[in-house]
Amino acid sequence: MHPPAEPPLLRFDSVSVVSGSGVALLADVSAAVVSGAITVVAGPSGAGKSTLLRLGDRLDIPSSGRVLFEGTDIAGIDPRRLRRSVGMVFQRPVLFAGSVEDNLRVADPEASQARMSFGLEQVGLDASMLGRAGDDLSGGEAQRVCIARTLLTEPKVLLMDEPTSSLDPVNRRSIEALARQFADRGLGVMWVSHDHVQVSRLADHLIVLCEGRRVSDLAAEAYLTEAGEQGSQP
């Protein structure tokens, strides 16, 4: 792991989230997402990983603490404008009725054919996909279209909530490779995973949560070491 660069694109400043029934989903968690790197949020199921991610584009609101995008508290940013800069890719691809082109135009109604074709090429799909029906795609194709749709808004941060959990190993590795390409181009990528081996492949920076709290850097290093050892096993 490398120490986070300054300033971060997205910063979580002592955020806590308490459910309506009084359960603490997150407790005083601080973290940062920087450009040009993949920040992996890891930990067991129910640790608060997806909750932390959803705070990043105001799908959830912190009970206390702040989330800042480029130094500005996102509580004061219009959610639609924020989500053009902080894109979200969900665990299961969500496509709307209609063609692939129709789905891309949800992100940018004025997008040209050339721009949409380029968006598909960025995720390894051919421009001929534009006319395909959304419900006629494989899981891997659908997830790629969702990523292409998000990229049409030209985000600076890409939030990815276990985007490969429902995919086969070939598509899983392919989406991971895309995330690496995006980081190499300067995006800040925040990726949620509970897969130790995937963590060892992806993490430039690592946030490990347990029962809603961030564990120490030492414990996170141990987690990454364990992940690497598992990944090296035949």
| C-alpha pair distances (Å), 204 with each of 20, 23, 179, 180, 211 | 35, 31, 12, 10, 23
Q: How far is CA 62 from the centre of its chain?
A: 18
Domains and CATH numbers, the chain: 10-98+160-232 (3.40.50.300)
Q: Shortest CA distance to 213 belongs to which of 11, 1, 15?
A: 15
Q: What is the pLDDT along the chain (234 residues), one digit of tens a residue?
A: 555 445 899 999 999 999 889 899 999 999 999 999 999 999 888 899 999 999 999 999 999 999 999 999 999 999 999 999 999 999 888 898 899 999 999 999 999 999 999 999 989 899 999 999 998 999 889 999 999 999 999 999 999 999 988 888 888 898 899 999 999 999 999 999 988 889 989 999 999 999 999 998 777 777 777 766 665 454
Angle at 103 between CA 109 and CA 158, to 5 degrees: 90
Q: CB within 8 A of 152, min separation 6: which ones? A: 104, 107, 108, 111, 115, 116, 119
